[in-house]
Amino acid sequence: MRGIFWIFLLSINFTFAQVYSFKTQKEGRTVTHRILMDAEYLIETQFVEYPPIFISTRGGFYSKKGNAYSVTFEFNSDHPKDGLTSLVLEPDESWEDVSKTSLDLNGKWLMSGKVRDNKEQRRDTSRPRKTMKFLEDGFFQWIAFNTETFEFFGSGGGYYTAQEGKYTEHIEYFSRSNSSVGRVLPFEYSISGSDWHHQGFSSKGDAMHEIWSKRTLNE
């Protein structure tokens, strides 16, 4: 059925707010499938660790019935090829819990502004063009997408540490350039209300001071 992709797997006891991983073989390569999920949102990303190759990512809000997770996509990097807008899946014992210790910054964050010349420049986070960063139990992923047109603009992710105002990203996959994999990007961070101030240098080496805000259901 177009728009729905079924994965039938054996059911096991499964808890949310975790990071999971399993591997498959495709064209002679070992593909890592990473699942980031909280109580309402799920992302599945596929990539090859070595040599690094980004394959795909897709995600959105989900509902749960029994052991099945029904995900309505907000983005799907393969949508131009497969036309899929939703996913129904059940995990099995091949899904390994790879969650690290819960860290500061867990949650879904929307890019909500930047600071230039000591002045905040805010953007409307309710608009369909979004850049979201999802941090869960030591892993992170950012995604740029449009909820109205289903356009996908890019994604990258890996694992992170956050402690005492120091935030460091270790890049494991990057849709725009596989050559960025393996880079370690250190930043400074602070929390002000529902805002995360993120300062340092981008993967291109440009100075940056971004503002990310916790995502709410109406955004």
Strands 86-89 and 4-7, how do they pair? parallel
pLDDT digits (tens, 9 = 90+) for 163-178: 899 999 999 999 999 9
pLDDT digits (tens, 9 = 90+) for 88-141: 988 888 999 999 877 789 999 999 999 998 899 999 999 999 999 999 999 999
Q: Amino acid letter at 209?
A: H
pLDDT digits (tens, 9 = 90+) for 2-14: 343 333 333 334 4
Residues in CB range of 8: below 8 A, 6 or more apart? 90
Mean pLDDT, range 146-164, rounded to an integer: 95
Using CA atoms, how far apart are residues 27 and 152, in angstroms rounded to an integer? 25
Using CA atoms, how far apart are residues 23 and 30, in angstroms rounded to an integer? 7
Q: Tokens representing 73? A: 């996509």
**Which of helix, strand or coil describes residue 180?**
helix
Q: Is the pLDDT of residue 157 over 70?
A: yes
Which pLDDT band, with edges at 50, 70 and 90, does 17 fall under? low
Using CA atoms, how far apart are residues 26 and 48, in angstroms rounded to an integer? 10
Q: How many CA atoms lie within 13 A of 195 on its CB side?
A: 15
